[in-house]
């Protein structure tokens, strides 16, 4: 690894803290089984799809002798989907967990994501190689990819390559879609007699892979700190210049967790939460009205400036837009050949509109050409609309400009509206992990190694009680099928891990409700500055506000 910065040199010296229960390695741990589990919904359907892995119990690790884990094994790891800070520490944790059990254990990485599994591109991850990647950002040790292993041919090829390399365990580091894929592979292996265990690790900066036993996905802590630094800088600029409205769209795909967390860290004037928009059944016009109300109220106080946070997936939460996107997904999936033959965007748009119900066709026609084009972009390999490419903040500004002119014509607004847009997404995905993520990721990886050594297939690595000191964290595994439901993807009903959205009855959102009225009127901005690696533990090791509010009473 070339070009190591001064900060990276310093971070390589950081020693992640392991939970007490893991410190003596897998040979000093026994499995404690909980009750049998069931999927979060659609139980009968999910059970039929996963007959060999459905209903497995939750497991936790407790102290006890376990000589069975001392037999040498060969394990493989793959990074799947978008990057998230701390991935290298997950791999370091897996490696150290394996070597602690038996120095003869070996770890290999599939290169370039799941595509590397199908192409059998591997490299051994040795302690010497790992040494220069510990506590660093990025996924560049083995890279990532978005190929989905789902067809019978792909599953057979994955099985062939896993067996060809004599791998006893296959660890998938990914988000909800990637871990759904891990569940599919685990089921396929058990059905077809492949002895390798399949284990998942919860990764996504979006924060939407969570439940009672997966309290947060790794990378969320670091990414929100990076975004909060950038938004805080903008807040300070706004408070200094006092002449612009800044609209900041934040990554997060189909959930608003990032926006909520950055809102807590910076206290902007407006923090839009997509889940609230959906619950209130708000139209696009009503969303505009709510923003305009804050803008006009501030203008009445002589404040023609402010900051508005926009979640990346907002457009999918507006019911009429959500309905349109769902219909577009089906039309695009069912008419790929006809659309490919279209010679221009206008021709393709007209074709798509002709396939939509009248109300959705009218909505599609009313949208600015740029937004309509972005809604028709190719879906990702999992069938999701690529919301990171939809410039929602520009749509809001365009519609607000029209709305405010109307209000001004009525004599109800005498302010000036000048807006600037930002999109913060990729800036946060490969940052050097915070102390929290460095510790958490290392524990997740080490825990995954223990699951592999115990031949626990179809499980997701779980490290919890995260608001406590790392020594007190609890470890175990959650059945992947436990988190699944049935959703429509690419025109078909498929099992997927259910996304955890912002809960409007949850403590974090309730906290936002208490404070956002004051934030709207005043300059309550907070400027968190850069991520702190040195200083008191109260700064360097603190977790997210979201987790603090969620676990305040636990």
Closest CA to 437 of 74, 90, 130, 83: 90
Burial of residue 413, with CB atoms counted within 10 A of its CB: 0-12 exposed, 13-18 middle, 19 or more buried: buried
Of 206, 208, 221, 437, which is the active-site residue?
A: 206
Reported as a pLDDT band with limits 50, 70 and 90, residue 326 is confident
Residue-level pLDDT at 316:
86
Question: Can you tell me the mean pLDDT for 356-361?
Answer: 93
Burial, 93: exposed, middle or buried (Cβ in 10 Å; 0-12, 13-18, 19+)? buried
Mean pLDDT value of segment 188-196: 97
Q: Which helix (H) or strand (E) holds 238?
A: helix 220-241
Confidence of residue 95 (pLDDT cuts 50, 70, 90): very high
Q: Confidence class of residue 338 from pLDDT cuts 50, 70 and 90?
A: confident
What's the N-to-C CA distance of the chain in angstroms? 43
Whether the pLDDT of residue 535 is over 70: the answer is no
What confidence score (pLDDT) does residue 9 get? 87
Give the number of other CB atoms < 10 A from CB of residue 17. 18
What was the pLDDT predicted at 340? 82
In this prediction, residue 445 has a pLDDT band, given cuts at 50, 70 and 90, of: very high
For 21-33, the DSSP string reads GGTT-GGGEEEEE
Task: Kindly provide the residue ranges of all beta strands, DSSP E only, lying in 345-473, ordered along the sequence.
Answer: 419-424, 459-464
Place of tokens 């069931």: 38
Give residues with Cβ within 8 angstroms of 283, minimum separation 6.
Answer: 318, 319, 320
Q: Which two tokens stand for residue 111?
A: 């290169």
Distance CA 348, CA 357 (A): 16
Neighbours of 51 (CB within 10 A): 11
Pairing of strands 144-145, 74-80: parallel
Pick the range with the lowest mean pLDDT from 53-67, 141-155, 311-325.
311-325
Read off the pLDDT of residues 511-527 as tens digits, 9 standing for 90 and up: 999 999 999 999 999 99
pLDDT at 123: 98
Specify the pairing of strand 106-110 against strand 122-124: antiparallel
Query: What integer best gives the mean pLDDT of the chain?
Result: 93
Q: Which two tokens stand for residue 233?
A: 């800088």
Q: What is the pLDDT of residue 456?
A: 98
**Average confidence (pLDDT) over 283-290:** 94
Q: Residue 341's CB: how many other CB atoms inside 10 A?
A: 11
CATH 3.20.20.60 fits 220-429+505-550, yes or no: no
CA–centroid distance for 120 within its chain:
27
d(C-alpha 137, C-alpha 429), whole Å: 8
Whether 206 is catalytic = yes
pLDDT at 6: 85
pLDDT tens, residue by residue, 5-40:
888 888 899 999 999 999 999 999 999 999 999 999
Residue 233: per-residue pLDDT: 97
Q: What is the pLDDT of residue 2?
A: 55
Q: What is the pLDDT of residue 381?
A: 67
Would you place residue 541 in the very low, low, confident or very high pLDDT band (cuts 50, 70, 90)?
A: confident
Task: Say if residue 531's pLDDT is above 80.
Answer: no
Q: Which of 434, 378, 461 is nearest to 209 (CA)?
A: 461
What would the mean pLDDT of 532-541 be, rounded to a whole number? 73
Per-residue pLDDT at 539 exceeds 80: no
Mean pLDDT lowest among 287-296, 406-415, 451-460: 406-415
pLDDT for residue 333:
83
Do 220-429+505-550 and 67-219+433-481 have the same topology in CATH?
yes
The answer to whether 439 and 446 have CB atoms below 8 angstroms apart is no
pLDDT in tens, 212-259: 889 999 999 999 999 999 999 999 999 999 999 999 999 998 899 999
CATH of segment(s) 67-219+433-481: 3.40.50.450
What CA–CA distance (Å, rounded) separates 77 from 106?
11
d(CA 148, CA 168): 21
Residue ranges per structural domain of the chain: 67-219+433-481, 220-429+505-550
More confident residue, 329 or 62: 62
Give the C-alpha distances (Å, rounded to integers) separating 15 from 173, 216, 316, 435, 438. Answer: 22, 22, 42, 10, 9
Question: Can you give the pTM of this predicted structure?
Answer: 0.92
In the chain, pLDDT over 90 holds for what percent of residues?
80
- How much is the pLDDT for 429? 96
For the ranges 41-45, 363-367, 462-466, the lowest mean pLDDT is seen at 363-367
What pLDDT was estimated at residue 337? 85
């Amino acid at each position: 690894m070339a070009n190591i910065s001064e900060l990276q040199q310093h971070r390589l010296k950081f020693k992640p803290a392991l939970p007490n229960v893991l410190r003596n390695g897998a040979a000093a741990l026994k499995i404690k089984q909980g009750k049998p589990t069931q999927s979060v919904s659609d139980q009968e359907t999910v059970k039929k799809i996963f007959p060999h892995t459905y209903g497995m119990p939750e497991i936790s690790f407790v102290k006890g002798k376990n000589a069975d884990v001392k037999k040498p094994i060969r394990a493989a790891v793959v990074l799947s989907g978008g990057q998230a800070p701390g991935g290298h520490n997950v791999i370091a944790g897996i490696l150290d967990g394996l070597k602690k059990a038996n120095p003869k254990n070996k770890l290999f990485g599939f290169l370039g994501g799941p595509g590397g599994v199908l192409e059998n591109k591997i490299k051994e991850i040795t302690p010497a190689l790992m040494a220069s990647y510990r506590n660093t950002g990025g996924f560049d040790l083995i890279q990532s990819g978005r190929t989905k292993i789902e067809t019978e041919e792909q599953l057979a090829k994955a099985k062939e390559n896993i067996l060809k390399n004599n791998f006893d365990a296959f660890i998938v580091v990914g988000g909800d879609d990637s871990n759904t894929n891990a569940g599919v592979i685990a089921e396929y292996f058990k059905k077809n007699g492949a002895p390798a265990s399949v284990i998942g690790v919860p990764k996504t900066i979006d924060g939407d892979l969570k439940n009672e036993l997966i309290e947060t996905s790794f990378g969320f802590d670091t990414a929100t700190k990076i975004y909060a630094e950038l938004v805080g800088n903008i807040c300070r600029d706004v408070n200094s210049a006092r002449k612009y409205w800044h609209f900041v769209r934040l990554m997060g795909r189909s959930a608003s967790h990032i926006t909520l967390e950055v809102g807590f860290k910076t206290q902007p004037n407006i923090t839009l939460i997509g889940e609230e928009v959906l619950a209130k059944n708000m139209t696009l016009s009503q969303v505009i009205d709510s923003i305009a109300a804050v803008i006009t109220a501030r203008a009445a106080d002589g404040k023609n400036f402010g900051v508005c946070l926009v979640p990346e997936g907002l457009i999918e939460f507006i019911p009429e837009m959500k309905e349109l996107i769902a219909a577009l997904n089906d039309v695009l999936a069912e008419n790929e050949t006809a659309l490919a033959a279209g010679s221009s965007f206008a021709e393709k748009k007209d074709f798509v509109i002709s396939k939509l119900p009248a109300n959705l066709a009218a909505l599609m026609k009313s949208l600015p050409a740029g937004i309509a084009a972005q809604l028709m972009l190719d879906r990702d390999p999992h069938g999701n609309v690529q919301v990171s490419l939809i410039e929602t903040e520009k749509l809001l500004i365009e519609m607000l400009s029209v709305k405010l002119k109307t209000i001004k014509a009525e004599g109800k607004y005498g302010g000036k509206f000048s807006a600037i847009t930002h999109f913060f997404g990729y800036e946060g995905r490969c940052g050097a992990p915070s102390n929290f993520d460095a510790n958490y990721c290392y524990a997740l990886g080490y825990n995954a190694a223990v699951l592999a050594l115990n031949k626990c297939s179809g499980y997701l690595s779980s490290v919890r009680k995260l608001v406590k000191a790392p020594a007190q964290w609890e470890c175990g595994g959650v059945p992947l099928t436990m988190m699944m439901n049935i959703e429509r993807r690419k025109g078909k009903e498929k099992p997927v891990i259910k996304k955890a959205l912002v809960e409007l009855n949850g403590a974090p959102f309730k906290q936002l409700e208490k404070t956002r009225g004051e934030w709207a009127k005043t300059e309550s901005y907070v400027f968190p500055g850069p991520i702190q690696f040195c200083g008191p533990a109260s700064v360097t090791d603190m977790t997210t506000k979201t987790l603090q509010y969620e676990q305040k009473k636990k």
